[in-house]
Amino acid sequence: MNIFAMADLHLSGSVDKPMDVFGPRWNNHTEKMRSNWDRIVNPDDVVIISGDVSWGLKLSEAVPDFDWIHERPGRKIITRGNHDLWWTTLKKMNAIHEDIIFLQNNSVMAGNTAVCGTRGWMLHYPGQDWTEHDEKIFRRELIRLRLALDSASERGASKIILSLHYPPTDSRGSETPVTEIIDQYDVSCVLYGHLHGDEAEKHAFRGKIKGTEYRLVSSDTVGFVPQLILSERSIDNEI
């Protein structure tokens, strides 16, 4: 069994939100993802989707996009992105398709690997606008991050994969409140998205920090190809 990952699918099956307004690389991006996904992912594989899945504003508008994901091979594990405004209770979302698992404050086993995640939030840099509202959300996301990692750690997994949406550090891999928490756990790989185009090149960190690998997997930066993260032997989707 292989574990793949990709973020920022930005599907729009029921809303008018063409992505090509963001540049030519997004032309026909849904078909590119379908072709690549179906070509390399097998039914027994797992695909982690690190946020910004659907442009739907409510769950009913996002269901056609979940149907599209359901039609792709593999088990899918989804964590939240900043544009996932349709996000609701885990009970409602996890009832849509049995091969799609939504995570928040918890974890799931994929073979011997525990997968957990949360959305995260923008990082605060000097000179950047930062409101009390931002601070409140950021602190709440740090709590959710720790809850997710606690859940994964308690499973006794051989590896832990953390799925975020917002970047956890800057392009230099500087220490942040997010990486400080990650460093307290035995995390093998951190996945994140949110950055696109020139912003990805300027602000993304790719590499290792204290033994943990950090990977940017936003769809346009990886050519709309699910990225192989690791191989496992079996999957247990019991949450």
- pLDDT tens-digit map of 31-65: 999 999 999 999 999 999 999 999 999 999 999 99
Question: Which of the listed CATH numbers 3.40.50.300, 3.40.640.10, 3.60.21.10, 2.60.120.620 matches domain 2-231?
Answer: 3.60.21.10
pLDDT score recorded for residue 101 = 98
Instruction: Determine what percent of the chain is predicted with pLDDT higher than 90.
Output: 85
pLDDT score recorded for residue 127 = 76
Q: For residue 116, what are the β-bridge partners?
A: 107, 162
**Per the confidence metrics, is the pTM higher than 0.85?**
yes
pLDDT score recorded for residue 232 = 63
pLDDT score recorded for residue 206 = 96
Instruction: Give the CA angle between residues 70, 72, 78 to the nearest 5°.
Output: 60
| Residue pair 185/168 in contact by the 8 Å Cβ criterion | no
**How would you classify the pairing of strands 75-79 and 212-216?**
unpaired
pLDDT score recorded for residue 142 = 98
pLDDT score recorded for residue 150 = 97
Transcribe 185-223 into DSSP letters.
S--SEEEE----HHHHHHH---EEETTEEEEE-BGGGGT
Q: pLDDT under 50 in the chain at which residues?
A: 234-239
Task: Spell out the residues 6+ positions from residue 233 whose beta carbon is closer than 8 angstroms to its own.
Answer: 1, 111, 112
The ranges assigned to domains in the chain are 2-231
